[in-house]
Amino acid sequence: MGYSGRLNKKSQVDMEVNKHELINNTLAILGEALDRDLVWEALQMPGSGVAKINSRSIPAGHESLALVGDRIASLIMAVDSLLEGSGNGMTTTIQQNYQNNDKLAAICDEADLTACINRNPTHEGDLGGRTKKATVKALIGAAYLTDNDTEMAKKVMKKLGVLKWEPVVTVAESDVVAGAD
């Protein structure tokens, strides 16, 4: 085995150690026993160099898992609104706040999940909001797929503060009653 072969083997060992460290740190943050392979997928920034996890191809990193997480999060919010007796308009407002708000990127930073993301080796500087949002959504997806049940996803959403959004209420002048105190 030549010198480059040893470097390659050392790189593989380093990557495996890094992988386990990132997964363990993420699981400690979330406080839940999620499927480790799904967590590893959720941490993959597109272009990270991880093309497969087990036999499943992930050419776009965590993007497919983020799509699942996005749908599950919307479902959980809609069901919670229904069970709480919120009107359809309130459900729509909550989901729009979730979709359009940079809160998910902030949640990723505040929970220290940003440090757990397996980056694209060519990426320099800070990670963008899109990658951070997708990571949070992918972790929600990983939580759902761990048990194929929304309860684990809901626990992760609560732990991260995704379910704490307050609706944005705006009052138009026509809604104000003249002379009312």
Higher pLDDT, 13 or 148: 148
Q: What is the pLDDT of residue 120?
A: 85
The pTM (predicted TM-score) of the whole model is: 0.79
Q: For the segment 24-47, what is each residue's pLDDT rounded down to a tens digit? A: 999 999 998 999 999 999 999 988
* For residue 170, pLDDT beyond 50: no
Greatest CA span in the chain, whole angstroms?
88
Over residues 149-160, mean pLDDT: 94
Q: What is the pLDDT of residue 152?
A: 96
Query: Measuring CA to CA, which residue among 129, 167, 156 is closest to residue 68?
Result: 156
Mean residue pLDDT of the chain comes to 80
Q: For the segment 50-107, what is each residue's pLDDT rounded down to a tens digit? A: 888 988 889 889 999 999 999 999 899 888 877 877 665 555 556 666 665 688 999 9
- Please, which pLDDT band fits residue 163 given cuts at 50, 70 and 90? confident
Structural domains of the chain sorted by starting position, each given as residue range(s) with its CATH number in brackets: 3-165 (1.10.1520.10)
Please state, in angstroms and rounded to a whole number, the distance separating the CA atoms of residues 172 and 111. Answer: 36
Q: What is the pLDDT of residue 99?
A: 62
Share of the chain above pLDDT 70, in %: 72
User: CB burial class (10 A; 0-12, 13-18, 19+) of residue 28?
Assistant: exposed
Over residues 132-155, mean pLDDT: 96
* For residue 168, pLDDT beyond 60: no
Higher pLDDT, 37 or 14: 37
Higher pLDDT, 142 or 3: 142
Q: What is the pLDDT of residue 157?
A: 93
Please state, in angstroms and rounded to a whole number, the distance separating the CA atoms of residues 106 and 120. Answer: 20
CB 164 within 8 A of CB 73: no
Query: Measuring CA to CA, which residue among 104, 85, 114 is closest to residue 163?
Result: 104
